[in-house]
Amino acid sequence: MKKIASLLVLLAMALALFAGCGSKNAEGAPSGAAESSPPISDTPAGEAQNNDSGSERADFKVTDLLGREVSIPGGASSFVCIGPGCLRLYCYVADTAKLAGIEEIEKDVTGRPYMMAHKELTSLTVIGQGGPNNAPDAEKILLAEPDVIFSTYNSDASAVDELQNATGIPVVVLSYGKTALFDPNVDKSLELIGLITGNEDRAAEIKEYFASMKDDLAERSSGIADEDKPTIYLGAQSMKGTHGIESTSGNYEIFNVLNAKNVVDAAGIHEYTMLDKEALIDMNPDVIILDAGGYPLVQDDYKANAAYYDSLSAFKNDRVYLQMPYNYYSTNIEVALADAYYVGSVLYPDKFADIDIASKFDEITEKLLGASIYSEFAETYFGGYQQLRFGS
């Protein structure tokens, strides 16, 4: 029946495809739905559409992260994920054996723990190119015959509706929100995936795990007087590509949860920015954290401008440290969590004395993805977390 319906829909969708059926301005960085998103249903909403005795669940409705009401078939057992980070969220919660296909961009496992943990997914049917600059491929998605499409292409509700109309398959929009790490929209997205795939308990478990990590990080870093805290700066932050030391953020969630003294915040900057390099000299942080994604650019720049870097206290005092990059087709939340524990150990060594960062990384990926992958991940990024020394 599904195949017959698919052929009929293929005939009907040709005209719709000319209009374009996806958003091209979703980004690989952690951004997403509107600031305030409506909650999803606590229980399946609406009257059952199908209550056959052979069905495990009746059809039900959910409200997605764009506020769209979407009807879900109660027997849904095949899924696809499109858009930045969508597959990652699915892997945290649901059975990867029920995926009908993946985007071409997901076949590069580098820097993506969820793909490192599930390399078998690279053999699945390709459902489109993927990536922030490519629209969803309705025809390829339809040929994979999923029951539900999860999507983080969430900037344009009309484009989402167009994809749903073109395929005849329900499209449920997810989001990482503004911060991705500890963002309530991530929790709502996990709830939706759990509800639709029948993994509500797993979704609740992951939400609780995230909350416990946030509480632990905040508790370890609480009660420290400001005068006893070193000032800190994030450099070479990966954001829509790799950048040098001037790439940074105010209101940086990892520093926020650690109650850290971010010199960028102190300068009145509360978002991502490409900082003037001379401004960094004026800020002169005690500690500099470099993102491993942009680290090679800093190495090259140091060779050309050693005097600049040696004028910074953090470089003079060997207080420069490497964190793992977590922005890769949106946010690797597991890596961001491990980064937070590493930065905590740098800022407050006594408070984090019990943390072995390699073991902590593996603990997190075991919980979220069922695999210990720090060794493989660290091998990709200069050996992993470490103190850096320049000019020696």
Segment 6-45, tens digit of pLDDT: 544 444 444 344 333 333 333 333 333 333 333 344 433 3
Residues 373-388 pLDDT 10s: 999 999 999 999 999 9
- pLDDT tens readout for residues 65-120: 999 999 999 999 999 999 999 999 999 999 999 999 999 999 999 999 999 999 99
Q: Which residue has the tokens 């049917």?
A: 125
Identify whether the C-beta of residue 165 lies closer than 8 Å to the C-beta of residue 74: no
**pLDDT given for residue 240 in this prediction:** 82
With bands split at pLDDT 50, 70 and 90, how would you rate the model's confidence at 392?
A: low
Whether the pLDDT of residue 122 is over 80: the answer is yes
**pLDDT in the model for residue 3:** 46
Average pLDDT over residues 260-283: 96
**pLDDT tens, 228-240?**
999 999 999 988 8
What spatial distance separates the first Cα and last Cα of the chain, rounded to whole Å? Answer: 69
Helices (H), the chain: 2-18, 86-93, 113-117, 138-144, 157-167, 184-197, 200-220, 253-257, 263-266, 277-283, 295-304, 306-310, 313-316, 333-347, 357-369, 374-380
> Domain residue spans in the chain?
2-210, 221-388
pLDDT given for residue 55 in this prediction: 46
Q: Which fold has domain 221-388?
A: Rossmann fold (3.40.50)
Q: Select the CATH number that applies to the domain covering 2-210 from these four: 1.10.10.10, 3.30.70.360, 3.40.50.1980, 1.10.490.10.
A: 3.40.50.1980
**pLDDT, position 87:** 98
Q: Which residues make beta-bridge pairs with 171?
A: 149
pLDDT score for 256: 97
pLDDT one-digit tens code per residue, 158-207: 999 999 999 999 999 999 999 889 999 999 999 999 999 999 999 999 99
C-alpha distances in angstroms, 119 versus 51, 80, 112, 368?
38, 16, 10, 15
In this structure, the chain runs to a length of 392
pLDDT of 380 = 95
DSSP state for residue 177 in the 8-state scheme: T
- List, edge to edge, every strand of the sheet that includes 231-235: 261-262, 231-235, 287-291, 320-323, 386-388
Q: Is there a shared CATH topology between the 2-210 domain and the 221-388 domain?
A: yes
